[in-house]
Amino acid sequence: MKKLKIWGLIITVVAIVAAIAIGTIGYKIGEKPENDILTLKTIVKTFEKHDMALKEDSSKSTDKFELSGVKPAVFALGDKKGTLLVYTFKSFVERRDIVEKSNKFNDLYSLQEYSFNAKNALLVYVSAQSPTTEEEMIIIGETRTLISDIVFKYLNDGKVVIYKGESISWKGTFTLKYYEHWWTDEKGTLHYDAYNEGFPSVKYKKICRSY
């Protein structure tokens, strides 16, 4: 019964902190939308600024990567790290509609292709080859992480908020990563695009009692 009570308390604390954190996002829905568009030039410069130079690769045909008439810019990452495909659309609404209707890049467990949403753009990392060794897996993992960080922080204007709570016996944190985008189309309709991911952590505090 004691264990059940302890775990019940932990779950309650985490749930409350998570609710507060995610609720913070909801308050922003009323903010004035800005039709912020990423250009190919901006994307390339952002990657270069954060230690990942993109070199245009004309050796690969863009036809096989076409999405509903939209062809990507193709860049080599160098050092056998693979290729980066960069699609730019008119808005995140168009990007979302086209990607959802397509059968490409939707395998979440693929070791060779990994896609990233960035406002009106879609970026796809294609590894140089299917990994067969631990070293190759590490290189792919590190490259994915670097691309993911650049996309989240600098292309999506992502935010990280840390919430903390503490009691006599426990202390916990809830780290929230999120971004939000709005788009007003030509008809005046407001569209909303968002991402959020939470990471809870609860730790027991050792209590020393004196008698």
Quick one: which H or E segment has residue 42? helix 40-49
Look at the pTM and tell me if it is higher than 0.75: yes
Domain residue extents for the chain = 2-31+160-178+198-204, 40-155
Identify the band that residue 133 occupies on the pLDDT scale cut at 50, 70 and 90. Answer: confident
Q: Report how far apart, in Å, the C-alpha atoms of 108 and of each of 74, 95, 115, 128, 206 are.
A: 21, 18, 9, 18, 41
Place of tokens 């604390």: 13
Lowest mean pLDDT among 1-15, 24-38, 121-135: 1-15
